[in-house]
Amino acid sequence: MQKIVFCFLFVVFFSAKGNSQVYMHGAGIGGYFTDVPGAYLAFTYSPRINFIENEVLSLSAGIPVSMGFSGNYYANYNSNYDPYEENTLRVMLNVPFIVNINWGAGSTKQNERRVGFFAGAGFGYHFGDTGYKLDRWGNELEVRDYRSSYGPAGNLGARFKIGRLQKNLEARFSFMKGINNADVGVFGIAALFNF
């Protein structure tokens, strides 16, 4: 398997016309879901640098940063005119470093194909809610705990060319599995517009 990967990377490297770096980026919206009960609406900015390109595909490194939030805040008075407050607001930050293989639309600025695909792997950082804390009897407490997690990450998706210029829409699925004490699993689905 290692020989196949090495040969593939060797062919891609030497079939590239040049080794100049090309900056590409996109922005969009998506949803993030953790294995701790919770879902987030997230805004994503996805910069990447193509460091190997040819007519059909490219190899890129990027950091698709996502910031999300969820929950609600409610304040009122009960029947005794005592203030009542409920706050379930949560935030999260997801920052993976991903190396992608891009093929077709969106792989390079010169690619004329209408549809493209990409897949990649890397390492990610996640800061977010780890859920309700439990007391010693197993009851949920109203206190939430935020922790950082890091671990292997990956993504895959498709790009669809729009118009005559090399703008495209991207549909992305991503995953990160924490390997430290807060071993949270994070799934993401996003739609981006690439400039």
CATH number of the domain enclosing 147: 2.40.160.20
- 50 occurs within a structural domain: yes
Tell me which residue range forms the domain holding 112: 18-194
Q: Dump pLDDT digits (tens) for 117-141.
A: 999 999 999 988 765 555 666 666 5
pLDDT band at 16 (very low <50, low <70, confident <90, very high): very low
Q: Dump pLDDT digits (tens) for 164-186.
A: 777 899 999 999 998 887 678 89
Residue 142 reports pLDDT greater than 70 = no
- 11 occurs within a structural domain: no
User: What's the pTM value of the predicted model, to 2 decimals?
Assistant: 0.78
- 146 occurs within a structural domain: yes
- 10 occurs within a structural domain: no
Following DSSP, what letter does each residue of the chain receive, concatenated? -HHHHHHHHHHHHHH-SB---EEEEEEEEEEEEESSS-EEEEEEEEEEEEEEE-SSEEEEEE--EEEEEE--EEEEE-TTS-EEEEE--EEEEEEEEEEEEEEETTSSSS---SEEEEEEEEEEEEEEEEEEEE-TTSPEEEEEEEEEEEEEEEEEEEEEEETTTTEEEEEEEEEEE--SSS--EEEEEEEEEE-
Q: Dump pLDDT digits (tens) for 73-122.
A: 777 776 777 777 777 788 899 999 999 999 999 998 888 899 999 999 99
- 183 occurs within a structural domain: yes
Query: How many separate domains does the chain show?
Result: 1
- 100 occurs within a structural domain: yes
Query: Which tokens hold the place of 100?
Result: 């992608």
- 36 occurs within a structural domain: yes
**Taking Cα atoms as reference points, which of 96, 105, 69 lies closest to residue 155?**
96
pLDDT at 163: 79
Looking up tokens 């996109």 gives 26
% of the chain with per-residue pLDDT over 90: 47
